[in-house]
Amino acid sequence: MLSTASHAREGAAHADALTRALARFGHGSLRPGQSDLIADVFAGRPVIGVMPTGAGKSLCYQLPAVVFGERGGVTLVVSPLIALMKDQVDSLTARGIPAVALTSAAGAEEQRDIIDGIKAGMYTIVYVAPERFRSPRFIEVLRAIAGKLALIAIDEAHCISEWGHDFRPDYRRLGAVIQELAPPRIAAFTATATPEVRRDIALQLGMTAPKLHVRGFDRPNLYYSVVKAGGASDKASQLAELVRMREGGVALVYAATRKNAEAYAAELKSAGMRVRVYHAGLEDNVREKAQDTFMAGKLDVIVATNAFGMGVDKSDIRLVVHADMPRSPEAYYQEAGRGGRDGRPTRCVLLFNHGDVRLQEFLIDASYPSADVLRAVWKMLRDRPQLGELTPYDDELEARLRKQLGALGHQVNGAVVGAAVRILERHGMLRRDDERLAATRPEPGVFPVLDVESLQRRADVERGKLRTMVEYAYYPRCRRQFVLEYFGDEDWTNRDKKCGACDNCEAIAHGKQTGLSQTEQNAIRSLLLLVGALDGRFGRTRVTSIALGTEDDPKFDEVVERGCMRGWRKEQVMDLLRALEGAGLIEASRGEYPTIHNTKRGDQVSVGRIDPNELGIQMPTVTSRKQRSRFKKRR
């Protein structure tokens, strides 16, 4: 056993090695997120580092690599892009750190030299692309140096997840490689903050008890708020008002569908704004023109679908409005995050109407086609390859397949066809080249197996994300804390933390009441009691009519809460049911005719064991102009 003194000596030696290594990178100190993570790498714990772009993830493996290198250790870095690897190798080499990238960009002879160098222990850091792991010869090389392998670092690790935004089947080979080589340390890095992608990374890489480091996702100059909107005309006028009131720069408005994008743009135009639309349904040149005009600062506002954004780096977007409910907190945060790149104060507004949730539910359903449709698309493309011909317009392929599906008795919309193609491609059952989309058989062990159940689970995950967005919309406390906690950001786990820069923090600071009135609390309790009494046998519509007392079926005579919402409007009760769902008090079954039931929490609220004020329920907006609101106006 080591004495305390020798422990201290060893610790000091390690600290020296770290300081020396850091100096080689020309940095004065580590950033807070980096030091914790690097300590875990040294401790030999598998780590997953989730940090935003530019946070300095590379240093988290390069620094340990240099320290290991002093003792002859080799670090293998898996990275998906040759250009990225090249940049890193150049800058490491310039700092006197022996690094190399083994890529297909090098000629055969050069590759042989590199491999010899790796075997001879010439390099401290070796970058490889995931395709390398296809080659048995390369695996041989790795076996030969396995004893010297100090760390395997996987950069852009979200590429391993079929549900990430950038799935690379070759990343799937890594699991087996890691299992065989059993490196003493393994670290994965990504900027993607999706919880299930992180879980997938750990699972696919076979990490046991990985330490998750999530840090740095806050964007302090973004001011978040939710504005309740009534029907379409209310939304349009609020939208125009928001754009008009922005403080300089330009506004970006996101819509859930192409049709909505066009409609909002038309409204903004008639309100006198310089506006362009951007979505995937436009001709390339129209879209490019819109983007160029936007980039040139010649617009007040651009209205877009989520097709907009990749690579858009305009620094003075002063306002990002989501005119429709986005489908997930991830999408929302990323899209809102396009604002304020220059670091100046920027508003991110969610225009919220509870009815919009239904649109997103519909879109989620369309994203998960049935097994029959998937099978039919694959068979069609196998039996009649000419159907897979690719033209410059995505829509043409979709329309063609849709027509053929219709002839086979599958009446589906274009979104379903698009989703089927994407899913089949992701599972290696369709392959695309320049000319056509062709049916293939997936390569086993590389492409994830396509099973319908996992698609269903995936759809449930998406519905869960949508519910989280609804919760966000109704959340009565700090919105920044809500989102950053969802992402797992270690600095924002405390529910009482306040950012001071969101509508709720401001309202709380100004002493505005954000709680529910007694009448509202009573309404919530009786509706939950009714749902509890009906015991999951009926859907929203039926529950609503029983609540309103308009349902005169004698079988409900015994139900005490029947008519408990008398005098309310049907839409209000429906919306309240949705709001209670959003707050996790009611759950709907799946399927064509969903029935609703209370969750455990819902039951507890109904009997007064939990205070509804604790749950962030906010009463739905009243949309009718004729009927006076039964709700107290709060803002």
30 binding ligand ATP? (CB under 6 A):
yes
Which residue carries 């922005």 as its tokens? 246
**Helices (H), ranges, 510-567:** 518-534, 540-548
Helix then strand count (H, E) for the chain reads: 23, 17
Name the token pair of 624.
């009718």
Which range binds ligand ATP by CB under 6 A, 26-34, 332-340, 424-432, 489-497? 26-34
CA–CA dist 361, 263 (Å, integer) = 20
Which of 158, 347 has the CB closer to ligand ATP? 158
CB of 88 to ligand ATP, least distance (A): 8
**Residue 341 contacts ligand ATP per CB under 6 A:** no
- Nearest-Å Rg of the Cα atoms of the chain is 28
43 vs 83, which CB is nearer to ligand ATP? 83
Pick from 191, 359, 459, 501 the residue near ligand ATP by CB under 6 A.
Answer: 191
Binder of residue 51, out of Zn ion, ligand ATP, Mg ion, none (CB less than 5 to 8 A by kind): ligand ATP
Number of residues lying near ligand ATP (CB under 6 A):
13
CB 130 within 8 A of CB 154: no
Judged by beta carbon, residue 61 or residue 224, the one nearer Mg ion is 61
**Largest alpha-carbon pair distance within the chain?**
87
Among 48, 59, 159, 319, which residue interacts with ligand ATP (rule: CB under 6 A)? Answer: 59
Binding range to ligand ATP, per CB under 6 A, among 30-38, 259-267, 317-325, 442-450: 30-38
- Complex with ligand ATP: residue 30 or 423, whichever CB lies closer: 30
- What is the rounded CA–CA span in Å between residue 129 and residue 103? 6
Q: Which helix (H) or strand (E) holds 99?
A: strand 99-102
Q: Which residue is nearest to ligand ATP (CB)?
A: 56
Using CB under 5 A as the binding criterion, the count of chain residues that bind Mg ion stands at 1
In the bound complex, what is the minimum distance in angstroms from residue 66's beta carbon to ligand ATP?
Answer: 13
Report the partner that residue 567 touches, choosing among Zn ion, Mg ion, ligand ATP, none (CB closer than 5 to 8 A by kind): none
CB of 337 to Mg ion, least distance (A): 17
Cβ atoms of 127 and 100 closer than 8 Å = yes
The residues that bridge with 50 in the sheet, in sequence order, are 190, 214
- In the list Zn ion, ligand ATP, Mg ion, none, the entry touching 106 (Cβ below 5 to 8 angstroms by class) is none
Q: How far is CA 131 from CA 280, 352, 385, 434, in A?
A: 31, 45, 28, 21
How many Å apart are CA 511 and CA 211, to the nearest integer?
Answer: 40
Q: Is 186 in the site for ligand ATP (CB under 6 A)?
A: no
- Between CA 14 and CA 24 the distance in angstroms is 16
Contacted entry of ligand ATP, Zn ion, Mg ion, none for residue 618, CB cut-off 5 to 8 Å set by kind:
none
- DSSP code string of 310-355: TT---TTEEEEEESS--S-HHHHHHHHTTS-TTSS-EEEEEEE-TT
Q: Give, as ranges, the residues between 56 and 75 that touch Mg ion (CB under 5 A).
A: 57
| Segment near Mg ion (CB under 5 A); pick from 49-57, 451-459, 488-496, 501-509 | 49-57
27 forms part of the interface with ligand ATP (CB under 6 A): yes
Phi, psi for 275 (deg, rounded to 5): -135, 145
Q: Which residues bind ligand ATP (CB under 6 A)?
A: 27, 30-31, 34, 51, 53-59, 191
Q: Which residues bind Mg ion (CB under 5 A)?
A: 57
